[in-house]
Amino acid sequence: MMDTETAKPLTEKLNGGHSGNRPETGAAEDEINILELLYVFVKYKTLIIILCGLGFAGGHIAARIKGPTFIAEAVVTAKESERQSPNLGAFGAFGGLAGLNMAGNPGLDKIQLYLNSRGFNSELIEKYDLTTDIYAKLWPKVYRKFYDTISGRWNTDDGFTLGTPMQLAGAFNGILFKQTVTKEGTLELQVKSSDSLFSYRTLSITIEHLNHYIQNAVQTDAKDNVAYLERQLISIPDPLLREKLQEKIAAEIEKAMIVSKEAFKVLDRPFCYRIHKEKKLYPIAGAFAMFFVSSALLIFGHYIFGAGNTDSDSRKWVNMIRKELKRII
């Protein structure tokens, strides 16, 4: 007859090396069963479909409330220099001898500097009275609260202070206006808003003001340089130095003449078109969001309030989560 000590190892061998009637499967029971998750999806498929449909409808409504976006675009490029212009005569040759890039005419990099400067944007806002439009497009809640559309005035009795053009310049440049330099050497200007008239008007006046702004800056600089060089020319007797100064004076005069008509070339005049990507994006995003949220809640509910993970260790954590949920409720 086999004694107890001999039978025990034999029983452990028959049970996979563990004592008892079944092997230890606690680690396996703690793992998430894919088939169990599929069962949850199939069981609550109707609820998931309804919630996804609600998400799709909600996204569609949100897209309609937001409305389309109107984009005004224009393409400009730097003006080419006519170094040997017959109208300039010897001045054109002097400009070439001076080795000027574009004869002082601003390139795309300099045009971008003007567009990004607070000085240019503040002058644009003040000249064309864009303060109200900027508030209406960027801060609609503030606009509706403090602007009286009937009288056309701002209500400052409640301590509201209207931003100055210099303060609004950064917001105008960073949000409404975009510049992109292409490989072909062109500058694409773009204004986006929900108002087609605002987009088109803002881009048109920006190009118009930019032309005047650059003309004034270049011609003022050239005039000051010519005045300085002429003063130096009077006091210099050396004919070689006088000739060099005359060349520089000619170059400055040429620079002012080149921008006298236009500071840059507008290849494509402002045109406005409509986009509504949200019409497709929002409903799809809403449906996916509701799918993930509903799936997460159903799986959570299955494991907390259902039959998921019946292992003793898992059940301990489930009971603790239930206890905390009851405290919150």
Domains of the chain: 33-67+276-300 (no CATH), 69-275 (3.30.1890)
If we measure between CA atoms, which residue out of 95, 97, 101, 94 comes closest to residue 79?
101
Half-sphere exposure of 10 (CA within 13 A, CB side): 6
232 pLDDT tier (thresholds 50, 70, 90):
confident
Buried b (16+ CB within 10 A) or exposed e, 54-79: ebbebbbeebeeeebbbbbbbbbbbb
Share of the chain above pLDDT 90, in %: 18
258 pLDDT tier (thresholds 50, 70, 90):
confident
Instruction: Read off the pTM.
Output: 0.65
Share of the chain above pLDDT 70, in %: 74
Instruction: Choose the weakest-confidence range: 11-25, 73-87, 88-102, 243-257.
Output: 88-102
Give the pLDDT confidence score for residue 102 in this predicted structure: 39
Q: What is the mean pLDDT of residues 283-289?
A: 93
156 pLDDT tier (thresholds 50, 70, 90):
confident
Q: How far is residue 107's CA from residue 186's CA, in Å, rounded to a whole number?
A: 10
Locate 63 and state its tokens. Answer: 């897209």
Give the pLDDT confidence score for residue 306 in this predicted structure: 64
Q: How far is residue 19's CA from residue 258's CA, in Å, rounded to a whole number?
A: 99
* 94 and 254 Cβ atoms separated by less than 8 Å: yes
Q: How far is CA 100 from CA 92, 192, 255, in A?
A: 11, 37, 9
Q: How far is CA 280 from CA 59, 61, 65, 139, 273, in A?
A: 9, 11, 14, 26, 18
